[in-house]
Amino acid sequence: MIKDQGTDGTHGEVLECDVCILGAGIAGLNALFAASRQRTSSCRIVLVDRQAEPAGMWHGAYDYVRLHQPHPIFTAGNIAWRGQSDRYHLAHRREVVDHLKYCYQVLKERTRLEARFGHEYLEHEDSERGAHPVTIHCRRLTDGASLTIRARHLIKAFGYNVKPMSPLEVTSDAVLSLSPDRSDIFDAQVEQSTGPVYVVGGGKTGMDTAHALIRAMPNKRVRMLIGAGTMFLNRDLSAPRGLRRHFGGATTLDAFVDVAGRFDGRNEVEVMAHFRRTYGVSLHDDCRRFLFGLMSPEENREIRRGLDEVIRDHLEDVVDGPSGPVMVLRRGGRRPIAPGSVLINATGYLAREKAPYEPYLSASANVLSIQPTSTTHFLSSQASYFLSHLFLRGDLASLPLYETDVRELHDASRDVLPAVGIAMTVHNTTLIMGRLPRWAAKENGLDPMLMLPLHRRLRSFVGLMRFVKSRPDHMAKALDTVRERFGIRLGPLAHLRPPSKITRAAS
């Protein structure tokens, strides 16, 4: 039961529950959805989040951010969006926040939920036995009052824990440095600046920023520094419209199975070049990075036409030279930059900070952790949906899912990261779908193939089954090869008990 609210001066508020979920963003709400389906209505659930209300990082995202996938497949479980007739609409930040808050209200009505917003997680202990073996320590942000939760199960649904980006720190004062998350890039100081606007970063944030600036300030010179360049999955292929829904394009599963089948653990550059040519869009034909973003060819062309220049390098600093400010580039180049230019920090949000390792499942099987140091699926929303279901059923410990640390993989090789992400996701999904109840699989509203008719989805699934049946060990061997090449953690959790028999989706 949950104890009566109140503080005792020493321990603060103390709650007892069956399931404690930390985080109320997209990962936490999918964990809550799973708990609502895997537990009876009498089950006590406690939800904790730093924010004052649900929606996680979307409260702090830049105002012009949009979903890169059609909005219906960004949700909690199978909770449908309201009031949007265009199923291909790319929802803006406010729309996403409103929908996630709606998901929370729906799930709150389904469960015996006790929410504690405005609290931060500090630490937890797992005694591994007893009715409530996990003790979670939290603190209220307004006054520091303690909150102690004793739970049977703990789900740490932090996802990628995206934090607002700060402006780039540069030496010269002759340029203006801004961040999409902390500055209004459409205010007068940007529009009236005497120099060009430099968008630093070529990923989704960079493309969003360039696209928004080109539309809002068509006479402004906009330049991008994109490093090795980022490719995106062609959204018109994965979510075709009209009659092409029935026969055109390629499902996301088709594309990923193709890549996983070609990847042998050593040929990531060739495999991702094939992905770019066959399924991708990018500013340049030799962009090498892929972080699972989507973009339409039309958006890509509009950005390409609107840019004044694309610089294939990374910015290290802006310093004052004898003739004015100079950009210092990573490859050793230096080039003048006009005084009054604007820098916008759109560099990557992922893998910015090294975090202590925590396995996705504790040795006691009492704690599930959805975060980048032990990731099993490139989407934290999908990982939370699948793993929370299996965790609460007691089935997760017997699945030898591959896990890796995104930051460690990123530092080992940015080229191998997307190939591993795709192969690991396909490998793990085949294991998960063999163990997940059919009704839970059907309720997965996050599946991008839901944008396509049933016959297209079935054909893709049959293709996956054929691949796994004909080459059952291919993906595991490729991932093992990567582990041996780079000396990184990439494989099943060492502390899990070996299964007596593994059922794959294709078996």
Q: Are 361 and 497 in contact (CB under 8 A)?
A: no
The two tokens of residue 127 are 């005694």
Angle between helices 252-262 and 416-435 (to 10 degrees): 120
Residue numbers of the chain with a pLDDT score lower than 70:
1-11, 349-353, 497-507
Judge whether 1-157 and 176-345 match in fold. yes
> 409 vs 244, 325, 406, 479, 487, CA distance in Å?
37, 36, 5, 12, 10
Which residues are CB-neighbours of 161 under 8 A, at least 6 positions away?
Answer: 57, 371, 372
Identify the pLDDT of residue 354: 78
Angle between helices 380-393 and 26-38 (to 10 degrees): 30
pLDDT in tens, 270-310: 999 999 999 999 999 999 999 999 999 999 999 999 999 99
Identify the pLDDT of residue 69: 95
Identify the pLDDT of residue 4: 46
Beta strand spans in 6-66 (E): 13-22, 44-49
Residues 359/361/366/368 CA torsion (nearest 10 deg): 90
Name the residue type at position 354.
K
Which residues are CB-neighbours of 173 under 8 A, at least 6 positions away?
Answer: none
The gap from C-alpha 140 to its chain's centroid, in whole angstroms, comes to 27
Identify the pLDDT of residue 352: 59
Identify the pLDDT of residue 11: 55
CATH of 176-345, one of 3.30.470, 3.50.50, 3.10.450, 2.60.40: 3.50.50
Name the residue type at position 164.
P
Residues 30/31/32/38 CA torsion (nearest 10 deg): 110
Identify the pLDDT of residue 494: 86
Which residues are CB-neighbours of 224 under 8 A, at least 6 positions away?
Answer: 198, 199, 200, 201, 202, 206, 210, 283, 307, 309, 310, 311
> 329 vs 129, 225, 317, 333, CA distance in Å?
55, 10, 7, 5
- Cα–Cα distance for residue pair 80/478, rounded to 1 Å: 38
Domain 1-157, what fold? FAD/NAD(P)-binding domain (3.50.50)
Strand partners, 223: 198, 309
Helix (H, G, I), strand (E, B) or coil at 291: strand
Strands 324-329 and 309-311: unpaired
Q: Are 362 and 403 in contact (CB under 8 A)?
A: no
The gap from C-alpha 308 to its chain's centroid, in whole angstroms, comes to 31
Identify the pLDDT of residue 173: 96
Q: What kind and span of H or E run contains 318?
A: strand 315-321
Identify the pLDDT of residue 349: 65
Domain boundaries, the chain: 1-157, 176-345
Closest by Cα among 458, 71, 472, 12 to 239: 71
pLDDT in tens, 311-330: 999 999 999 999 999 999 99
The two tokens of residue 72 are 């219906």
Identify the pLDDT of residue 342: 97
Mean pLDDT score of the chain: 93
